[in-house]
Amino acid sequence: MKKINPIILLFVIAVGVYVGLSINNEPTTEPSKDETEVTQVKKEEQKEQNIQISEPNYQTVYSIEKRYDGGISYYVLLDPVDLNNPTFIDNVKYITNKLVSEKGKKTSIEFFDDKNALELSYKQYGDLSLGRTLTENENSWQGIHYIAGYSGELETDLYLNTLYLFPSASSDHPQVGKYVSIMEYNPE
């Protein structure tokens, strides 16, 4: 058996220890558990502040039991919608989430941004007191101000939970056509 020079052996050990220490002392890219928890808390606080600051203004004007399954329909008045800013869609979803959590899943909600458009629709479809069909001008006007409709747990609708954007307008409408849509929406 060959004898290993102790100086070389000590040199190899010293280099190994140095390399090992260098690897262990390199800064990590992963945050520690404490840093992660602090970051999550800050993000949650920021979300809560954003919700409080940006909660949309709305008023439930009417509620009526008109669904075959006993669900209640609500007529909601929003602030005027800025059609150049699609954040109104998030506002509709936020209000839908809130009302469904408060009133129950078998809920229908009609959203308007004009009180007269809301009244006209309520008289036509809510309490049925209008007694006539809408004129062409009224239909066109409704197309702009009937912002959304939501039907929750309605088995006869397209989806069990359906959200309609601009349900009185068509997709070729010059002002709101780009927003006209139907989607499945399950409130949180």
Q: Is the pLDDT of residue 107 over 50?
A: yes
141-162 pLDDT per residue, tens: 999 999 999 999 999 999 999 9
How many other CB atoms are found less than 10 A from the CB of residue 171? 11
67-79 pLDDT per residue, tens: 999 999 999 999 9
Q: Is the pLDDT of residue 12 over 50?
A: yes
Task: Tell me the pTM.
Answer: 0.72
Rounded average pLDDT over 123-135? 95
Give the pLDDT confidence score for residue 7 in this predicted structure. 62
Q: Is the pLDDT of residue 4 over 80?
A: no
30-67 pLDDT per residue, tens: 444 554 454 454 445 555 545 444 789 999 999 999 99
Give the pLDDT confidence score for residue 83 in this predicted structure. 96
The angle at the Cα of 138, spanning 133 to 139, to the nearest 5 degrees, equals: 75
Q: What's the gap between Cα 79 and its chain centre?
A: 18
Q: Decide: 94 and 78 in contact? Cβ < 8 Å.
A: no
**Residue 9 binned pLDDT confidence (cut-offs 50, 70, 90):** low
Residue 63 vs residues 126, 183, 186: alpha-carbon distances, Å:
9, 24, 21
Q: Is the pLDDT of residue 86 over 50?
A: yes
**The residue type at 91:** N
Q: Decide: 178 and 144 in contact? Cβ < 8 Å.
A: no
Q: Which residues contact 96 (CB under 8 A, 6 or more apart)?
A: 109, 150, 163, 185, 187
Rounded average pLDDT over 121-131? 95
